[in-house]
C-alpha cells in the first residue's frame, strides 16, 4: 500500500471507532477512577493507547508538552493537570472527529482543574510533518501512535526538530521481537490494530539514536499478542536531546559500578566495571541523567573500584543446575551492548535465549529495568536440568 493510503485508512478506522464507541485493543492501564474526576466521559470512552506516558512521573510543572496523536485528548488533559496553569500542552492529530471531541472538552477540563483558561491547544497534523516550531518542546509524549505512521524515520526526525536542547521524550508504543512479514504489513485491519506497522525493538531504538536522541531506555514493558510466532509487546521509552550549550563541570572520569561487567553506550564508548574512563562534557551531561547515574561513579579524578568497595555491584548466577524454559531477553537500553558476569553479551533489542539461572539474575534490581523478557515456548516445557561444566562461561 502507498503511504498516503495507509494514513487515510488508519484515520478512517479511528474516526469510525470514535463515532461508534468502539474499544480498540491495546494494553492500556489508565487510572480511570482518577481521570474521571476532571475528564469528561466522552473523552474517556474513546481513549486508545498501549501505556500511560503522562502518568509515569514524567511531566513537570510549567513545561511545554507535545502529545503526538492526541486523539480525544486524554493524555493532553492529564498533562495539563501536571504542568499546572503556567504550563502549556499541544496535541496534534490527523483525524477531524478526534480533534472535534478534544477541542469541545478542553474548556470543561480547564474548569474542572480550576484554571482560568485552558492551557491545551489541539492542532491538525501528521506525526511526520508536525505543525510545531523548532526547539520549543520540553517533553514529547505519544501513546501507541508512531507505529501507525508509515515512515517512522521522519517521525523521529520531527521529534528531534521540535524538542528543545535539553528536552526529552516519553512514548508508549507497540514493537515486535522480529520483523513483521509482508503479508501482515499489507493487512489494512492489522494496521489499525497497531500490528502491521510495528518495528522491532532494535529498529525502534536505533531510529531514535539516528535522529539524534541519546540515552533511550525502557520505562515500562507489557506483553500483548503473539501472531504466527511474532511477539508484539508494549514498551514505554524515554530518551534525551542533550543541551548544546557547554557546561562547566569538575567531572572528568566515569567508573562503571555494575552490575554489568562491561557496557557500550550509543556513541560507541566502552566502559569496564571498576576501571575509570576519561569522559567529555557531553558524556557528563548524558551520564548525569537517569538511569545512567545509578550505574556510574562520576569524579574529578580517576577512581578504581574493586569487589571490596561497597559501590562496586555484581549479580552472579547460582552455582546449580539450570533448565531451559523458552525465555528470551532483549536489552532495552540505555546501552547498545552489555555483558553480565556469566559472559552473556546482550545487544540492544536482539532476543537472546536464556536459561533459568540467567532469568533469576535479570529479575534482580540492577538488571530488571533494562530488559524485556519474553517466553517463546508454545507448550509446557519439560526439559531436564542441565549442569554446566566449570569454566566454560555458563550454560547459555
For the chain, which residues make up each domain, given as ranges? 3-240, 327-375
Model confidence over 86-139: pLDDT tens digits? 999 999 999 999 999 999 999 999 999 999 999 999 999 999 999 999 999 999
**Can you give the pTM of this predicted structure?**
0.90
Q: Which of 377, 376, 374 is nearest to 175 (CA)?
A: 374
Where residue 391 falls (left for φ over 0; alpha for ψ -120 to 50; beta otherwise) is: left
Helix (H, G, I), strand (E, B) or coil at 6: helix
Model confidence over 129-149: pLDDT tens digits? 999 999 999 999 999 999 888
pLDDT recorded at residue 19? 47
Matching residue, cell 510466532: 229
C-alpha cell at 117: 483558561
C-alpha cell at 275: 576501571
**Burial class, 31, CB count within 10 angstroms (exposed 0-12 / middle 13-18 / buried 19+):** exposed
Q: Which superfamily does CATH assign the domain made up of 3-240 to?
A: Vaccinia Virus protein VP39 (3.40.50.150)
pLDDT band at 244 (very low <50, low <70, confident <90, very high): confident
Helix (H, G, I), strand (E, B) or coil at 69: coil
Model confidence over 44-62: pLDDT tens digits? 988 878 888 877 788 999 9
Residue 350: cis peptide before it, omega within 30 degrees of 0: no
Amino acid at each position: 500500500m502507498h503511504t498516503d493510503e495507509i494514513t487515510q485508512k488508519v484515520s478512517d478506522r479511528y474516526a469510525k471507532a470514535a463515532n461508534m464507541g468502539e474499544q480498540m485493543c491495546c494494553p492500556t492501564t489508565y487510572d480511570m477512577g482518577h481521570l474521571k474526576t476532571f475528564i469528561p466521559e466522552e473523552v474517556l470512552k474513546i481513549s486508545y493507547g498501549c501505556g500511560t506516558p503522562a502518568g509515569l512521573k514524567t511531566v513537570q510543572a510549567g513545561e511545554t508538552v507535545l502529545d503526538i496523536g492526541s486523539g480525544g485528548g486524554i493524555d493532553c488533559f492529564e498533562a495539563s493537570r501536571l504542568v499546572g496553569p503556567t504550563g502549556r500542552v499541544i496535541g496534534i492529530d490527523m483525524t477531524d472527529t478526534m480533534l472535534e471531541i478534544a477541542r469541545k472538552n478542553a474548556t470543561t477540563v480547564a474548569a474542572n482543574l480550576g484554571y482560568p483558561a485552558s492551557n491545551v491547544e489541539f492542532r491538525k497534523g501528521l506525526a511526520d510533518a508536525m505543525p510545531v516550531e523548532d526547539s520549543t518542546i520540553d517533553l514529547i509524549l505519544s501513546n501507541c501512535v508512531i507505529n501507525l505512521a508509515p515512515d517512522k524515520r521522519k517521525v523521529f526526525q520531527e521529534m528531534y526538530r521540535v524538542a528543545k536542547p535539553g528536552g526529552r521524550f516519553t512514548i508508549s508504543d507497540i514493537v515486535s521481537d522480529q520483523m513483521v512479514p509482508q503479508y501482515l504489513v499489507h493487512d489494512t485491519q492489522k494496521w489499525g490494530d497497531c500490528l502491521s506497522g510495528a518495528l522491532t525493538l532494535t529498529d525502534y531504538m536505533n531510529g531514535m539514536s539516528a535522529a539524534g536522541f541519546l540515552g533511550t531506555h525502557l520505562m515500562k514493558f507489557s506483553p500483548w499478542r503473539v501472531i504466527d510466532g511474532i511477539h508484539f509487546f508494549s514498551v514505554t521509552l524515554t530518551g534525551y536531546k542533550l543541551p548544546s550549550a557547554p557546561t562547566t563541570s569538575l567531572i572528568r572520569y566515569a567508573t562503571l559500578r555494575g552490575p554489568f561487567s562491561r557496557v557500550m553506550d550509543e556513541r560507541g564508548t566502552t566502559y569496564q566495571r571498576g576501571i575509570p574512563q576519561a569522559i567529555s562534557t557531553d558524556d557528563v551531561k548524558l551520564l548525569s541523567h537517569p538511569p545512567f547515574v545509578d550505574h556510574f561513579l562520576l569524579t574529578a579524578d580517576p577512581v578504581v573500584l574493586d569487589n571490596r568497595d561497597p559501590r562496586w555491584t555484581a549479580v552472579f548466577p547460582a552455582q546449580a543446575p539450570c533448565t531451559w524454559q523458552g525465555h528470551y531477553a532483549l536489552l532495552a537500553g540505555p546501552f547498545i551492548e552489555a555483558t553480565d558476569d556469566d559472559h552473556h553479551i546482550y545487544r540492544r533489542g536482539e532476543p537472546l535465549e536464556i536459561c533459568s539461572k540467567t532469568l533469576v539474575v535479570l529479575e534482580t534490581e540492577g538488571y530488571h529495568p533494562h530488559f524485556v523478557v519474553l517466553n517463546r515456548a508454545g507448550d509446557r516445557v519439560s526439559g531436564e536440568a542441565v549442569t554446566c561444566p566449570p569454566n566454560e562461561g555458563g550454560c547459555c
